[in-house]
Amino acid sequence: MFRLGAAELDQFEHQGWVGPFPLLEAGEARALEPELARCFGESRGYFYPADVRDGDCYYADTPWFQSLHTLSPSLAKVGRRPEVVDRVAQLLGEDLIQWGGIRFEQAPKERLLWHTDTEYDYWHGISVWLGVQNVTPETALKILPGSHRFKTTPEDYQQKHGLDLTQMVDDDQMLEELQRANPELDAQPTVMRVPVSDGEFVLFNGKLWHASHNPGTAERVAMGMRYSTPDQRIRIPLTYLHPVIFDPSLPPCLLVRGEDRFGVNRIVEAP
Domains of the chain: 6-267 (2.60.120.620)
- The predicted structure's pLDDT at residue 242: 80
For residue 186, name the pLDDT band (cuts at 50, 70, 90).
low
Judged by DSSP in three states, 256 sits in: strand
Question: How far is 155 from 95, CA to CA, in rounded Å?
Answer: 31
Please give the sequence-ordered ranges of beta strands (E in DSSP) within the chain, or none if there are none. Answer: 17-22, 96-106, 111-115, 126-133, 142-143, 192-193, 200-205, 210-213, 220-228, 252-257, 266-267
246 neighbors 239 (Cβ within 8 angstroms): no
Global pTM value: 0.94
Confidence check: pLDDT of 121 > 80? yes
Average pLDDT over every residue of 115-125: 93
